[in-house]
Amino acid sequence: MPRMTAAEAAVHILEKEGISQAFGVPGAAINPFYAALRKRSSIAHVLARHVEAAAHMADGYSRAAPGHIGLCIGTSGPAGTDMITGLYAAQADSIPILCITGQAPRARLYKEDFQAVDIESIARPVTKLAVTVREPGQLPGVLQQAFALMRSARPGPVLIDLPIDVQLAEIEFDPELYQPLEVQRPRPSAAQIERVLEMLQAAERPLIVAGGGVLLADAAAALRAFADLAGVPVVPTLMGWGVIPDAHPLMAGMVGLQTSHRSGNASLLESDFVLGIGNRWANRHTGSIEVYTRGRRFVHIDIEPTQIGRVFTPDLGITADAGAALEMLLEAARGRTLRDRSAWAQACATRRRTMLRRDDFADVPIKPQRVYRELVAAFGSEARYVTTIGLSQIAAAQFLEVSKPRHWINAGQAGPLGWTLPAALGLRAADPHSEIVALSGDYDFQFLIEELAVGAQFKLPYIHIVLNNAYLGLIRQSQRAFSMDYCVQLSFDNINAPELDGYGVDHVAVAQGLGCKAIRVRDPDRIQEAIAQARQWIAEFSVPVVVEIVLERVTNIAMGSEIDNVTEFEPVIDLIEA
């Protein structure tokens, strides 16, 4: 049996499990692992500027395609604690990432040694597994378990902590004999599928609510096939946006208090039956359960048993993989006479065409709605959008168009500021060909702005649209309930850039200083010109390009307290069809 260090065995296992890309920051306590990584040289490595950013890069990488698992690496102590936000963001959205940290020698644990922290205890609430490996011979089995856990049931992150003496210890390990564990994905029973179809047949105005679990199961095609066969309109959740193209006749629109379409809310309120699949009934989607559930029956299919009944009790709950359930529904529905849904589907489609929000503003400073109109004109529905939270994200969900699975990459539940930039870099590392467009408010952009240097160093080009209103815009808008505007202004007179007119940080200068290209836009009629320039720079220099768009300071974006009580702060458009 070959002998090697535990760290070398770990790298062999990573290769066997399909890892080809890592993001991280070396340090003394993880150097044996880095030495093993360098010796094999089959796993590419991107050097982050902040370990939290490395975790977000791994997250963006994992979201790029089914089966991807991003790897982030850090040393002992603060490197692990820096990763916690990244682990939380991944866990919240069911994203598998593997974090590996160095640790003090085993003999120094719990003795307040330099940078020795109990990271397994800290990380446990935001991971599927967090473990400090105390015996070198256990490392292969721990990694084998970790990959099976990340891929099975509801996916999620894992942290493995490696004391430096464990990494250096020699063990017997033959890479040729290593075998990944089988992944378990529960399937519904035939009786459960039959009951779903019976309930669907009994409904007059059904909808399918499709969540991120459909994407995780790589089941968007099966979803569309079932919706087409049954003639049932589809409401994607924010995490499921893209499972059905926005232009599809059965796309009913998104539902919610913020990231929603007027048509989606209206159709949900008119429905009498909802089939939820791979979704969580998140509160930004439902609002109050009383309003959301009144007058309609529910089936909930999810791979995680504890999700069934967590928010409200459905009329039927089924624990199953979304892909397996959709394939069985499709097979069972074929060859039988299904109820004619054409009138209901047409009503939903009419709402989608006619219940619009205005986006044609010509104001200077620029209104954000106009920005998204220009993005749709420039990128259509083909770009892969990356964003996290804030008014920029909420307005993007209301106005952009998405036509393909995984073309809306969003930290939906955790929404950590700073996530967008490193996630876009991780996505680019996974996908060298698509057009990637990141969307940030100025505050999100500033959180981990130093990672632009990573994009410049490692040639990870993408376009970053920064919507600058010099405000914490979403918090300002929520503070209206308290009649205040307190500690949310980012504006100041920049002594080095008086031409900014009080907008504060010179994002163009900072981006240029970090090795990237940047351009500022103040006129809405110049946005297309700026995007064309950004594309030219990407082709010429292969670095991130920042397009900063200076917005009016205060714009309230449509949102409300209930799905039947959304405040439209700007005029809406209700078209009348002949």
Shared-domain flag, residues 173 and 58: yes
In sequence order, the 6+-apart residues with CB closer than 8 A to the CB of 270 are 205, 347
Crossing angle for the helix pair 262-270 and 342-354, to the nearest 10 degrees: 150
Shared-domain flag, residues 133 and 265: no
Tell me what the mean pLDDT of segment 178-190 comes to: 92
Q: Which domain holds residue 227?
A: 190-355
Predicted confidence at residue 296, as pLDDT, reads 96
Residue 573 lies in a domain: no
Predicted confidence at residue 47, as pLDDT, reads 97
Greater confidence (296 vs 106) lies with 296
Residue 365 lies in a domain: yes
Q: Which of 355, 389, 423 is the last residue of a domain?
A: 355
| Tens of pLDDT, residues 527-564 | 999 999 999 999 999 999 999 999 999 999 999 999 99
Q: Is the pTM of this model over 0.85?
A: yes
Number of domains in the chain: 3
The 3-state DSSP class for residue 162 equals strand
CATH number at residue 276: 3.40.50.1220
**Distance separating alpha carbons of residues 473 and 219, to the nearest angstrom:** 36
Shared-domain flag, residues 264 and 322: yes
**Distance separating alpha carbons of residues 69 and 361, to the nearest angstrom:** 42
Q: Which of 328, 355, 382 is the last residue of a domain?
A: 355
Predicted confidence at residue 114, as pLDDT, reads 72
Separation of CA 30 from chain center: 29
Shared-domain flag, residues 435 and 337: no
- Which range (37-51, 105-119, 194-208, 506-520) has the least confidence? 105-119
For residue 332, with 0-12 CB atoms within 10 Å meaning exposed, 13-18 middle and 19 or more buried, which class applies? middle
Predicted confidence at residue 521, as pLDDT, reads 97
Q: Does pLDDT of 577 surpass 80?
A: no
Residue 475 lies in a domain: yes
Predicted confidence at residue 574, as pLDDT, reads 85
CA atoms within 13 A on the CB side of 79: 29
Q: Does pLDDT of 13 surpass 60?
A: yes
Shared-domain flag, residues 14 and 133: yes
| pLDDT range class, residue 226, cuts 50, 70, 90 | very high
| CB of 278 closer than 8 Å to CB of 128 | no
Shared-domain flag, residues 298 and 392: no
Q: Does pLDDT of 397 surpass 60?
A: yes
Shared-domain flag, residues 346 and 368: no
In sequence order, the 6+-apart residues with CB closer than 8 A to the CB of 476 are 485, 488, 489, 554
In sequence order, the 6+-apart residues with CB closer than 8 A to the CB of 269 are 563, 564
| pLDDT range class, residue 414, cuts 50, 70, 90 | confident
Shared-domain flag, residues 415 and 509: yes
| CB of 210 closer than 8 Å to CB of 279 | yes
Predicted confidence at residue 204, as pLDDT, reads 95
Amino acid 452 reads L
End-to-end CA distance of the chain: 78
| Tens of pLDDT, residues 418-476 | 999 999 999 999 999 999 999 999 999 999 999 999 999 999 999 999 999 998 878 88
Residue 375 lies in a domain: yes
Tell me what the mean pLDDT of segment 196-216 comes to: 96
The 3-state DSSP class for residue 551 equals strand
Which residues carry out catalysis? 25, 51, 417, 472, 475
Compute the chain's Rg from CA coordinates. 25
- Which range (343-347, 491-495, 525-529) has the least confidence? 491-495
Residue 499 lies in a domain: yes
| Helix (H), strand (E) at residue 566 | strand 565-567
**Distance separating alpha carbons of residues 382 and 399, to the nearest angstrom:** 15
Residue 567 lies in a domain: no
Shared-domain flag, residues 263 and 166: no
Predicted confidence at residue 294, as pLDDT, reads 95
Residue 183 lies in a domain: no
E strands, 229-388, where?
Answer: 234-236, 273-277, 297-302, 316-319, 355-357, 384-387
Place of tokens 């680019």: 428
Q: Which of 150, 177, 204 is the last residue of a domain?
A: 177
Both tokens of 464, joined, read: 């970053």
- Which range (109-113, 173-177, 213-217) has the least confidence? 109-113
CATH number at residue 517: 3.40.50.970
Residue 184 lies in a domain: no
| pLDDT range class, residue 382, cuts 50, 70, 90 | confident
Give CA torsion, residues 417, 420, 422, 423, to 10 deg: 120
Both tokens of 540, joined, read: 């010429």
Report the chain's mean pLDDT, rounded to a whole number.
94
The DSSP secondary structure of 87-133, one letter per residue, reads: HHHHHHTT--EEEEEEE--GGGTTTT-TT---HHHHHGGGSSEEEE-
Shared-domain flag, residues 412 and 541: yes
Shared-domain flag, residues 338 and 216: yes
Predicted confidence at residue 142, as pLDDT, reads 97
Shared-domain flag, residues 296 and 419: no
